[in-house]
A and B are shown apart, each in its own frame.
Chain A
Amino acid sequence: MDVSLSAQHIVKRYGGVVALADGNLNVASGEVVALLGANGSGKSTLSKIITGVVSPNEGSLLIDGRPTTLSSPQIAKKLGITAVYQELSLIPDMTVSENIWLTHEPLRGKSLIKNREVRARTQELLNLFSGTFKSLAPDIPVKMLPPDERQIVEILKALSTQPRLIILDEATASLDTQQVNRLFDLVADWKSRGMAIVFVSHRMEEIFRVADRATVLRSGRSVGDIPMSDATRESLVELMIEGASTPRNIAIDSVKSDAPVRLSVEKLTTSVLKNIAFELRDGELLGLGGLHGQGQSDLLLTLFGDIPHTGKIILSQKPVNFTHPRQAMDNQVAFVPGDRATEGLLLIRSILENLQLPSWANFGTPLNINRARAESQNTAQSLNVVMASLDAPVSSLSGGNAQKIVIGKWMSRNPKLLLLNDPTKGVDVGAKGEFYNLLAQLQQQGTAILFYSSDDDELLGLCNRVLVLHDGEITAELSGGDLTHANLVSASMGTQQENNV
């Protein structure tokens, strides 16, 4: 196999926003090139352009040395370029094999699908990941699979087209350690057979493990194309953000042990959670860790009243049983979702509308808009939101500022318990720093915070106690000297915690 791709000076605009100002990427047979960039750097736009999903406004794309226009993903696939997304391209109602072979099913004659061959070849592909999954089988509808197995289906789907160039776009985000290891074994095999691989990711350790070169994007421009042997973590991060990287660790005062217990949970059980029990005091930042989808989001949503449960929840010394988020809110609980576009914001509405969504009932009938504006202005200012005006649509804000609005919604209500569901996912390094400062502030004011993060470093840096969830149960409670990366990882895998003497 022999292939080369060269994207040169790609420009892409969405309306008035310039997503890519000068995108460049070069990759050839037997290479793994990592594509790095903070949020808003244009990294996903570039990856969509080289796979034909999006068309560039300017620039050229050379495939095997020839200038090419990719007018659709189909054309790209015919040229041997396939992408693996984060389960963006799976049809939920269709089975694993239907999804893998969609658009290129083996046919008898010119039209009838050869079902037996489909099943057999699907099983062959599934065997590549054997031992790393629980539910995968050719005839299971994809919607019944957990996120990590769906990701595997995405990978196999790309593989089934026998690509010459494969783009792994944040493809490891949902995979567990075992699956990532298997994937990297496969990548090594692909390399030796002459495939070219582009690895889009923000996970430094994986990049250092698997990539040969790194291309860095910043604010829509390529700012570096470096062999991994010449790169260090710091040098790459420096390329990604302007200025020095924000220190991630914040000094946390240890929690006063006589602070009142804000939240006490006993035998909490849902369809996913099993007998969860813990306590959380005012001013404490309690972390939730573990691999994806082990019940962390479910725990937060249950506490917020969005999921039915059995067991005891005692909030502010009173037993409560919330059946709707409204009740939790009225008891001064706040919830910040990680997927702000689909769970936290009304994108086409103004900043004002978004900030006041939970609170309109407080402004009388007819609504006292002036008072609402004044309050919103205060909130936005205290959070340092960079915006044109309160009436600008929230979609006009950058990722970090939009996340501030998601939090700002709750600030004026003075929550006593703050539930955070992976809030810094997709927020760039600079905005993360501001967010950590805000958390520290809230802690000092006595807010109890329950914080789920998929980023282990974040948990280690911010929390002095972490509950690790595995399969809906708390498998470990790490604090003080026990709170190490190694312990965190092994508890996440469900193995026994090593007790340090």
Chain B
Amino acid sequence: MNQSSLQSFLRRNPYLFTLLLLVVAIFFNFQFQDNLFEANVVNRNMRVLLPTMLLTVGQAIVIIGGGIDLSVGTMVSMINAILVTRILPDSTSSEIALGFFLACGTGILAGMFNGLCVAYLRLQPVVTTYATSFVFSGIALAILPRPAGQIPRPLTDFYRNPQLGIPTAVYIIILLLIFWVLLRSTRYGQFLFATGSKANAAYTTGVPVVRIRFSTYVWSGLFAAFAAIALTLLSGSGDPRLGDDMTLPTIVAVVLGGTRLSGGQGGIAGPLMGVAILTVIGNIISFANIDSWYQDLVNALIIIIALAGPGIVRLIRRLIGR
């Protein structure tokens, strides 16, 4: 009896393991970096985390719906290029607003393109979004051949500095969580999970599977735009390859967060913690005085071990069961 209530508790809260990992990781980080909990350090960490977190929310939605989006990183690059060519040091507020509007619009359009291919044309998500990532990368390079651009100080200051003593990023994260809770309690949320869990059963039940799949990619594009805005405000300038390396971390974060890659279950709290874990691990490695030539390797190994975590646990349980 005890085992089954424990099991049902774990089932309803899949990201307890993630939380544990995060706590352990923060603990180790603190060992190497004793100013970890100081206000300005927290702020610096949060503002660096936020772009990836925003991107991961979009990825999580796509994955829960049963797909995957390998173009999110290059979407960020592309939108970053658009932002820095539209928002110049002397831009007026309406030009700035237009810039943000254009950014979101581009994200949505890019997402619609992905959605069209995967949902309506029924092309395989992995290769298709891998292919579109090259298209977006090309567009980024076409708009911004070389790193350039300068975002007006007031904007970057707003993002980089805490507002009312709390990092800007925290407000956004709270908004994200509220967004997710609302989404979960709508019919759309149910459709999303149904589509990712068993699409043909969902279809038979009358769920508009194709439209739902399409919409997940549009969300992904929109959140990529948000991520690009955050990243651009953070860095203050543009680089046509700025976001390219962001794709893998979003996938790893989703997996670390307890969400299955095959879809149909999970949430965003887990993936958001997953992003934090990855960043904290990065911190540990840079502060732990590991030879700089070894840092990438250690980072990659830790990621693999974290990914293998659930599998190792399952294996041990199976071996004991025999």
Complex: A in contact with B (CB within 8 Å): yes
Is the CB of B3 closer than 8 A to any CB of chain A? Answer: no
With A88-B201, A93-B197 known as contacts, the answer to whether A115 contacts B185 (CB < 8 A) is yes
Nearest Cβ on chain B to A183's Cβ, whole angstroms: 21
Q: Does A257 contact B (CB under 8 A)?
A: no
Chain B 196-225, CB-CB to A under 8 Å as 1, else 0, gives 011011111111100000000000000000
Interface pair A308/B322, CB less than 8 Å apart: yes
Contact of A91 among B185, B202, B208, B321 (CB under 8 A): B202
Can you offer 24 A-B residue contacts whose CB atoms are under 8 A? A73-B203, A73-B204, A73-B205, A73-B206, A85-B204, A91-B197, A91-B198, A92-B264, A93-B193, A93-B197, A93-B198, A93-B264, A98-B190, A102-B207, A103-B187, A107-B187, A111-B186, A111-B188, A112-B185, A113-B185, A113-B190, A141-B11, A157-B205, A308-B322
Given A107-B187, A113-B187, A115-B185, verify A94-B204 contact (CB < 8 Å): no
In B1-18, the 8 Å CB interface with A consists of 11
The 4 closest A-B pairs by CB, nearest first: A74-B206, A89-B204, A93-B197, A93-B264
Given A72-B206, A102-B207, A113-B187, also A94-B322 (CB < 8 A): no
Alpha-carbon distance between A105 and B205 when the two chains are bound, in angstroms: 13
Residues on the B chain within 8 Å of A115, using CB: 185
Q: Which residues of A contact B191 (CB under 8 A)?
A: 102-103
Query: In the complex, what residue of chain B is closest to A161 when comparing beta carbons?
Result: B206
Inter-chain contact A308/B204, CB cutoff 8 Å: no
Within 8 A of B (CB), among A92-150: 92-94, 98, 102-103, 105, 107, 111-113, 115, 141
Tell me if B156 counts as interface (CB < 8 A to partner A).
no
Most buried by B among A73, A94, A308: A94
Known: A98-B190, A112-B185, A113-B186. A92 touches B206 (CB 8 A): no
Q: Which partner residue on chain A sits nearest B11 by CB separation?
A: A141
Report Cα–Cα, A105/B265, bound state, in Å. 19
Which of B185, B188, B190, B321 makes the CB contact (< 8 A) with A308?
B321
- Could you tell me if A105 and B187 are in contact, using CB atoms closer than 8 angstroms? yes
Chain A hits for B190, CB < 8 A: 94, 98, 102, 105, 113
Are A103's CB and B201's CB within 8 A?
no
A159 interface residue, CB < 8 Å from B? no
Residue B61 at the chain A interface, CB threshold 8 Å:
no
The distance from the CB of A297 to the nearest CB of chain B, in whole angstroms, is 20
Bound-state Cα–Cα, A112 to B206, Å: 19
Chain A interface size band reads: 20 to 34
The A interface is mostly helix, strand or loop, or mixed, namely loop
Main secondary structure of the interface of B (DSSP, over half): helix
With an 8 A cutoff between CB atoms, is B194 at the interface? yes
Could you tell me if A112 and B186 are in contact, using CB atoms closer than 8 angstroms? yes
**Contact at A94–B197, with CB atoms within 8 Å?**
yes
A79 near B: Cβ within 8 Å? no
Contact status B194-A94, CB under 8 Å: yes
Which residue in chain A gives the minimum CB-CB distance to B199? A91
User: Could you tell me how many residues of chain B have their Cβ less than 8 Å away from some Cβ of chain A?
Assistant: 25
The CA-CA distance from A406 to B186 in the complex, in Å, is 47
Other A-B pairs beyond A85-B204, A88-B204, A91-B193, 9, CB < 8 Å? A73-B205, A77-B206, A90-B198, A92-B198, A93-B197, A102-B190, A102-B191, A112-B186, A157-B205
Q: From A87, which residue of chain B is reached at the shortest CB distance?
A: B201
A83 to B, closest residue via Cβ: B204
Interface centre among B11, B198, B264 (most CB of A within 10 A): B198
When C-beta atoms are compared, the residue in chain A nearest to B189 turns out to be A113
A91–B188 CA distance with the chains assembled, in angstroms: 15
The answer to whether A103 touches B206, judged by C-beta atoms less than 8 angstroms apart, is yes
Q: Does A53 contact B (CB under 8 A)?
A: yes
Give the docked Cα–Cα distance between A112 and B190 (Å): 11
B49-67 with Cβ < 8 A to chain A: none
Partner pick for B201 among A89, A98, A141, A308, CB 8 A cutoff: A89
A154 to chain B, nearest CB (A): 10
For B260, the closest partner residue in chain A by CB is A93
With A74-B206, A141-B11 as known contacts, state yes or no: A91 contacts B201, CB within 8 Å. yes
Q: For A308, give the chain B residue with the smallest CB separation.
A: B322
User: In angstroms, how far is the closest chain B Cβ from the Cβ of A311?
Assistant: 13
Asked whether A91 and B194 contact (CB < 8 A) given A77-B206, A102-B205, A308-B322, the answer is: yes
Which residues of chain B in 205-247 are interfacial with respect to chain A, using CB atoms and an 8 Å cutoff?
Answer: 205-208
Query: Closest chain B residue to A98 by CB distance?
Result: B190
User: Are A93 and B187 within 8 A (Cβ)?
Assistant: no
Q: Mark B171-194, 1 if CB is under 8 A from A, else 0.
A: 000000000001001111011011
Most interface-central of B194, B205, B265 (chain A CB within 10 A): B205
A156 to chain B, nearest CB (A): 13
Minimum C-beta distance from B152 to chain A (A): 38
